[in-house]
Structure 1
């Protein structure tokens, strides 16, 4: 991993390293901005990357550190010092990233669309190259109340979970038109954010300072999604949860006790 100044120094001294330097974002970077970097080398590029002295030096350091680990699984990875141990995936086009921990004060869960030059750290959850209507689902009131009900917390903050919060989230069967409508909603949310650049997610989703155009984009998203569920807006969060648990019960009954497709 590289701090911003280290990435600048590496690329200034060794421009050939540019194909191997990518953005590296965890929960804090997604929510509060700022950026770190990492060296990301595919298996087929290891020999070429080794020709760059600083990258070769770092590979050797990683291998040495892993060999000294008391954990066999880490020592086994010493033969692959160019690979991250916990992060195996890489997007072809984009990533939809969700911080693992976020404040309960925000009216919506933080979620962002990142381009393929960025690697998402193990401190966030990610969908690689997923249709963008998934951002609409994650950034909805429906998903927020579900996560608040079924996921754990760190102090008072939401602790997101892919197994508890995402894989269990009940969504009606979506038609192609539904997906198109939700995709447009996701795009409108992103465009509203872009209009306030360089404000961060932390800035934009402060409940006392959320821009009206962004709030309106989310409200439209909620209306489109909730009409897919019941043909109208829900009256309150209690009604939202009742519907979600009704669908969850049907979903688990259909796929087997305690099992979700």
Structure 2
């Protein structure tokens, strides 16, 4: 995911969000959201096929102002780390063999900030296990849909 300038014309295979914020980017780039994606997203071959239904049903955290600001800061950190390599594609940047330590660190800081916004601590299973994280998200989803 990334930000595009207003002069880019998106094809029908590209999902876009009008007026996306750094906070939204940070949450969507988090390991929590990616856990949700891995369980619920459709696939074409082995590639994820993200859909509005996946996004619209994702249970977002309810952060404090401080937590939201922290996520915005860590999200900007991801973009800044990517910008250090302007000639690399996202595929190049996220190649496990590329050794982009600053980008990996930026993602870890973002994950921690998003986990805190969900109220997960290092002691919680959801902090350390993808299946526990998805189970917590499913509980949140059930609470939201039962209202």
Q: Secondary structure at the match of 1:124?
A: coil
Q: Secondary structure at the match of 1:136?
A: helix
User: 1:197 matched to which residue of 2?
Assistant: 86
- Ranked by relative contact order (alpha carbons within 8 Å, sequence separation 6 or more), the top structure is 2
User: 1:124 matched to which residue of 2?
Assistant: 14
Instruction: Calculate the TM-score normalised by the size of structure 1.
Output: 0.52
Instruction: Calculate the TM-score normalised by the size of structure 2.
Output: 0.91
Query: Is 2:5 aligned against 1:115?
Result: yes
User: In structure 2, what is the Cα distance between the partners aligned to 1:204 and 1:157?
Assistant: 17
Query: Which structure has the highest helix share of the two?
Result: 2
Over the aligned positions, Cα root-mean-square deviation in angstroms equals 1.3
The correspondence for 1:144, drawn from 27, 34, 38, is: 34
- Post-superposition Cα deviations, 1:151-196, rounded to whole Å, max 9, x if no partner, equal 2111222111111x21111112233222211111111000000011
Give the aligned length: 143
- Post-superposition Cα deviations, 1:113-162, rounded to whole Å, max 9, x if no partner, equal 11222222211111111222111111111111101111211122211111
User: 1:208 matched to which residue of 2?
Assistant: 97
User: 1:133 matched to which residue of 2?
Assistant: 23
Larger-gyration structure (1/2): 1
Unaligned runs of 5+ in 2: none
Residues 210 and 122 (structure 1), Cα distance of their counterparts in 2 relative to 1, 3 Å cut: farther
Q: Secondary structure at the match of 1:209?
A: coil
Q: Which runs of 4+ in 1 moved over 3 A?
A: none
